[in-house]
Structure 1
Amino acid sequence: MGRLRRLAEATPPSRDRYVDLLRALAIIMVVLGHWAVATIGYDDAGQPTGRSALPELPWAYPLTWLVQVMPVFFLVGGYANAASLTAHRRRGGDATGWLLGRSARLLRPTTVLVVVLAAAALVARALGAEPSLTRTVVWFATIPLWFLAAYLAVVPLTPVMYPLHRRFGLLVPLALAALVALGDLGRGLGPAAAALPNYLFGWLVVHQLGFAWYDARTERSPHDDRAEPSPHDVAGEPPDHRTGLRSRRLPMSRRAGWTALLGGLAVAVLLTGPGPYPVSMINIPGERLDNAAPPSLALLALTTAQLGLILLLRGRAERWLGRDRPWMAVIAVNAVVLTVFLWHLTATILLVGALDAVGLLPTPAAGSAAWAAWRLPWVLMLAVVLAVLVAAFGPVEARTGRPPAARVPGPSSGGGAGRRWWATGRATLTAAGFAAVVYALVDNAVTPREAPEPLGLPASALVAYLAGAGVLRLLRSGWGSRG
């Protein structure tokens, strides 16, 4: 508690606490949503199995509009990445160094999950477990990694996409949204694979809006007395006085909030009612289209409505976060927020296994009164198990500090040409490390859950992940910089 209080007291006035609150709430809602809709049963072999209860709960489809908050995470991710990259460059760092620092915050807790699951699968195999069963368990535990794969594909593009935003403003997410619409048209008329680029284009739309929020927060505006001096103004770049879609500042007024909320809701209703998109914003097995995987135009309409609501609640939330206790709670959650997300389905597996072992695993039919009554004790028990996991593995994330601000390291000899060669090689290796990790996470996601994988994860995915994460770790340590 004393450490949290010191961190709260040391928070600079320029920090947007609302962004941290939204990140924490987004992850908590994802965790609670996954737990709440889970239904547990037994397969033909008598093994416990789990799935979503949503197919049996069509009345709950509109409620997914409230709990589908992955866009909020990408929104605050865009804000945080723009702020972090700007600060890193002002301290003398380069884009590659920033990416390496970002990789530490994202990959250290993820590596712990991957290594622990692979080791547990190896032990289970040694004890005689079937590889297909081991794979099924690990597949469930690694479901959160599909989201991380998308985020790790977006983050390395920040040094390119943020300057693009600074030049073209809100035209960039508009153009990306048009590409999403083309992808939706392709999968509506042809194969579902036609929309695969939407995994990148859709989340980039939301990420770019985070850039616009950051610029609105930091650039002086004659219409916002609370705006602060921009780092770009300090560097000599004039503030943005453009209006319309070429503006790089997100409109932050209450009028803009109401427009986004009501307009986004109206478009989402039209797209999912008379339109071709499903009502649910979470995947429902058997649906022709999926609004979230990959992101669809309907999800972007909902994102617009969510953004409007965020703007409308901003003033009240910022006043509340000015108090010590709420802000300390937000700091505590954000210190382990990725750990919470990564391990919440592992907590489900452990609880199911424990209850099954003692013969106390309830398996009420999805949507029944017994199933509904079981929701509260189920979530409370899962929270206890997850708390134990976070206590064990959370310190890895909590100890990950801010990336160093050093300039590009270079060999001790070779002059300017040698330094340029090393800078290019360092950037290439960093990109390759990110690409290997993203490939590994995607490979794991598309490998069938019944595949006979002795290590739980596909061997190719495990090798690629460890190679990519290892290269990024070596580069963060300054490997090769001494010549």
Structure 2
Amino acid sequence: MRRLRHLAERTPADRERYVDLLRAVAITVVVLGHWTVAVIGYDPAGRPTGRSALPDLPWAYPLTWLAQVMPVFFVVGGFANAASLAARRARGGDAADWLLDRSARLIRPTTLLVLVLAVGALLARVAGADPSMIRTVAWFATVPLWFLAAYLLVVPLTPLTYALHRRYGLAVPAALAALVGLGDLARATDHAVLANGNYLLGWLAVHQLGYAWYDARRETDPAQRRLPPTPRVGWALLLGGVAVLVLLTTVGPYPVSMLNVPGERLDNAAPPSLALLVLTTAQLGLIVVLRDRAERWLRRPGPWQAVIAVNAVVLTVFLWHLSAAILLVGGLDAVGLLPTPPAGSPAWLAWRVPWLLMLVVVLAALVAVFGRVEAGAGRSAGGPTGGGGAGGRLRGGSAALGYGAVVAALVVNAVTPKDAPEPLGLPVTALVAYLAGAGLLRLLRHTAQHRRPRPGHLG
């Protein structure tokens, strides 16, 4: 508590605390959403298995307009990335410095999860576990890495995409949205492979809106504000977005659910659809409407310290929340106390309360063990290395290569079938590529730390 109080007191007066709150809320909603819709059962071999209850709950589809908060995470990411990149450049650093420091916060907690799963899978295989079962468990545990792969693809492009924003403003996300619409058309005409680019284009469009929010806060000239954060603008975005979304999901071809429902004619989230971008517009409007009220609330010490505490381990919470579910299901099954009521039944609904409470306890234990890595990474960012020119470009290119290897590994893991016989849980190629990319980024960070000027040193 003393450290939280100290951090709260040191918070700069001009910090947009609302961004930190939104990040914490978005991840919390994702975690609770995944846990709440889980249906646990047994496969023909008598082993526990899980799936989403959404196909059995059509009445809940409109609720996904609130539960689908990954757009909020990417908008917040755009704001935070623009702010941190601008601050790094103001201190004399460059994009390469910024990318390396960003990788510490994002990659180190992810590497911990990957290594723990790989070691656990190896021990399970030595104990005689079926490789396909090992893969199934690892597949469920690594589901969060799918969205992280998209974010890690967007982050290295920030110096370029922010420069485009500074020059062309909201025309950039508008153009990206048009391309997403073309991808949706390809899906509708049975050319789904042509829509795979929407994984990048869609999330880039959402990320660009975060830049607009940041610039609206930073610019003193109203003519340069891309997205004035006023209640009037917020209400226009919210009401207009909801109206268009209703049309797209009733008259138009898009499903109501903004989360994946097996059997639907189109998935709004994987890859992002035009309907999801419209939902983002509505959510951004709600964010703007609530901003002033939230900022006043966050000036109070208690709420702000709570937000700081969550953000210190927010990625750890996201990465390990499905592992917590796996551990709880395994433990309850081992003692013969695993309830398996049908989805949507009164018993299933009643089971949500103790189920969530037990999951919170298990996840808290995992965060207590593994959260220190993320918290330490957040404090390890340094100042500029002082190296620009060709050296800076080389470091930037090497950092982008490291990010690329990590993203490729996460994508390979995501598309590998969950029942593939993988004795290490993750595909070997994915594991090698991930460790190579993460290792390169670690080496670059280590080299950069040794090149930073020491206090009092003029070199």
Pairing 1:327–2:296 present = no
Task: State the match for 1:169 in structure 2.
Answer: 169
Residues 386-425 of structure 1 aligned to structure 2 (within 5 Å) = 386-400=363-377, 401=379, 403-409=381-387, 420-425=389-394
Task: Decide whether aligned partners of structure 1 residues 315 and 424 sit closer, same or farther in structure 2, where only a CA change above 3 A counts.
Answer: closer
Task: State the match for 1:341 in structure 2.
Answer: 318
Deviation at residue 422 of structure 1 after TM alignment: 3.6
1:356 to 333, 339, 347: 333
Q: 1:473 is paired with a residue of what secondary structure?
A: helix
Deviation at residue 288 of structure 1 after TM alignment: 2.1
Task: Decide whether aligned partners of structure 1 residues 163 and 421 sit closer, same or farther in structure 2, where only a CA change above 3 A counts.
Answer: closer
Between the aligned partners of 2:157 and 2:215, the Cα distance in structure 1 is 18
Deviation at residue 426 of structure 1 after TM alignment: 2.0
Task: State the match for 1:318 in structure 2.
Answer: 295
- CA RMSD of superposed structures (Å): 1.3
Residues 143-162 of structure 1 aligned to structure 2 (within 5 Å) = 143-162=143-162
Deviation at residue 405 of structure 1 after TM alignment: 2.2
Deviation at residue 420 of structure 1 after TM alignment: 4.8
Pairing 1:70–2:70 present = yes
Task: State the match for 1:55 in structure 2.
Answer: 55
Residues 231-250 of structure 1 aligned to structure 2 (within 5 Å) = 241-242=223-224, 249-250=226-227
1:445 to 395, 408, 414: 414
8 Å CA contact 2:96–2:393 kept in 1: the answer is no
Pairing 1:6–2:17 present = no
Q: 2:50 is paired with a residue of what secondary structure?
A: strand
Pairing 1:281–2:281 present = no
Task: State the match for 2:395 in structure 1.
Answer: 426
Mean Cα deviation higher: 424-433 or 438-447? 424-433
Deviation at residue 28 of structure 1 after TM alignment: 0.2
Task: State the match for 1:454 in structure 2.
Answer: 423
8 Å CA contact 1:103–1:472 kept in 2: the answer is yes
Task: Decide whether aligned partners of structure 1 residues 317 and 424 sit closer, same or farther in structure 2, where only a CA change above 3 A counts.
Answer: closer
Residues 190-205 of structure 1 aligned to structure 2 (within 5 Å) = 190-205=190-205
8 Å CA contact 2:20–2:307 kept in 1: the answer is yes
Residues 123-162 of structure 1 aligned to structure 2 (within 5 Å) = 123-162=123-162
- Listed one character per residue, the Cα deviations across residues 352-376 of structure 1 (whole Å, up to 9, x for unaligned) are 0000000000000001000000001
Q: What is the identity, as a one-letter code, of the residue corresponding to 1:425?
A: L
- Listed one character per residue, the Cα deviations across residues 364-400 of structure 1 (whole Å, up to 9, x for unaligned) are 0001000000001100000000000000000100111
Between the aligned partners of 1:252 and 1:3, the Cα distance in structure 2 is 33
> What percentage of aligned pairs have identical amino acids?
71
Task: State the match for 1:295 in structure 2.
Answer: 272
Deviation at residue 481 of structure 1 after TM alignment: 7.7
**Structure 2 portions without partners, runs of 5+:** 452-459
Task: State the match for 2:457 in structure 1.
Answer: none
Q: What is the identity, as a one-letter code, of the residue corresponding to 1:81?
A: N
Pairing 1:371–2:348 present = yes
Deviation at residue 449 of structure 1 after TM alignment: 0.2
- Listed one character per residue, the Cα deviations across residues 99-155 of structure 1 (whole Å, up to 9, x for unaligned) are 011000000100000000000000000000000000000000000000000000000
Between the aligned partners of 1:56 and 1:145, the Cα distance in structure 2 is 26
Pairing 1:121–2:98 present = no
Q: 1:455 is paired with a residue of what secondary structure?
A: coil
8 Å CA contact 2:234–2:284 kept in 1: the answer is yes
Q: What is the identity, as a one-letter code, of the residue corresponding to 2:385?
A: R
* TM-score (normalised: structure 2): 0.96
Between the aligned partners of 1:365 and 1:279, the Cα distance in structure 2 is 23
Between the aligned partners of 2:265 and 2:35, the Cα distance in structure 1 is 25
Pairing 1:37–2:14 present = no
Between the aligned partners of 1:408 and 1:139, the Cα distance in structure 2 is 42
Task: Decide whether aligned partners of structure 1 residues 40 and 480 sit closer, same or farther in structure 2, where only a CA change above 3 A counts.
Answer: closer
Between the aligned partners of 1:307 and 1:479, the Cα distance in structure 2 is 37
Residues 174-189 of structure 1 aligned to structure 2 (within 5 Å) = 174-189=174-189
2:405 to 436, 439, 455: 436
* TM-score (normalised: structure 1): 0.91
8 Å CA contact 1:281–1:299 kept in 2: the answer is yes
Between the aligned partners of 1:100 and 1:403, the Cα distance in structure 2 is 9
Task: Decide whether aligned partners of structure 1 residues 188 and 63 sit closer, same or farther in structure 2, where only a CA change above 3 A counts.
Answer: same
Between the aligned partners of 2:319 and 2:33, the Cα distance in structure 1 is 14
1:466 to 428, 432, 435: 435
Moved segments of 4+, more than 4 Å: 479-482
Q: 1:200 is paired with a residue of what secondary structure?
A: helix
- Between the two proteins, the alignment pairs up a number of residues equal to 450
Between the aligned partners of 2:380 and 2:122, the Cα distance in structure 1 is 34
Task: Decide whether aligned partners of structure 1 residues 170 and 356 sit closer, same or farther in structure 2, where only a CA change above 3 A counts.
Answer: same
- Listed one character per residue, the Cα deviations across residues 258-311 of structure 1 (whole Å, up to 9, x for unaligned) are 110010001111111111011100000111210001110001111111111111
Task: State the match for 2:24 in structure 1.
Answer: 24
Residues 98-117 of structure 1 aligned to structure 2 (within 5 Å) = 98-117=98-117
Q: What is the identity, as a one-letter code, of the residue corresponding to 1:92?
A: G
Deviation at residue 480 of structure 1 after TM alignment: 11
Task: State the match for 1:306 in structure 2.
Answer: 283
Q: What is the identity, as a one-letter code, of the residue corresponding to 2:231?
A: R
8 Å CA contact 1:97–1:408 kept in 2: the answer is no
Pairing 1:261–2:238 present = yes
Q: 2:203 is paired with a residue of what secondary structure?
A: helix
